[in-house]
Structure 1
Amino acid sequence: MSFVLRLKYFFEKHGFNATSRLADKLGMRASSVRLFFIYISFVTAGLWFGVYLTLAFWIKLKDLIRAKRTSVFDL
């Protein structure tokens, strides 16, 4: 068996068991814990996208307020 497949099986065996152990300690279903982690990953990714859009809007607004004049006679 190749090294990559052994590594894959190791992470599948021990990594997916983490949510089951956490759910057992909290007294919940494992699917609820997995769903929570999925929702949290989407929220954190969406948060930074919102920050990016806010900064882009702020820069565009700054350019609209502060007009760029090419010469002195554009006043």
Structure 2
Amino acid sequence: MRKIQYFFESQAFGVCTKLGEKLKIPIASIRLFFVYASFLTFGSPIIIYLTLAFIINFRKHLRRRNNRVWYF
């Protein structure tokens, strides 16, 4: 079970983890919210999840780009 959980946590963009850290809410509660809300609203929270994933990855990209040393 731990291997499956680790796989999904490492491959799922880290959106729930990031939200849990920022809001100081258990990560499992956030994941359950996304799952239940997706079933109740026919998948519309998936759009929110993917938007947050894009923003997080874009911010990581900008941080990596700003830390590089440019040689001319």
TM-score above 0.5: no
Q: Which has the larger radius of gyration?
A: 1
Q: TM-score, normalised on structure 1?
A: 0.42
Q: TM-score, normalised on structure 2?
A: 0.44
Identify the structure with bigger relative contact order (alpha carbons < 8 Å, sequence gap 6+).
2
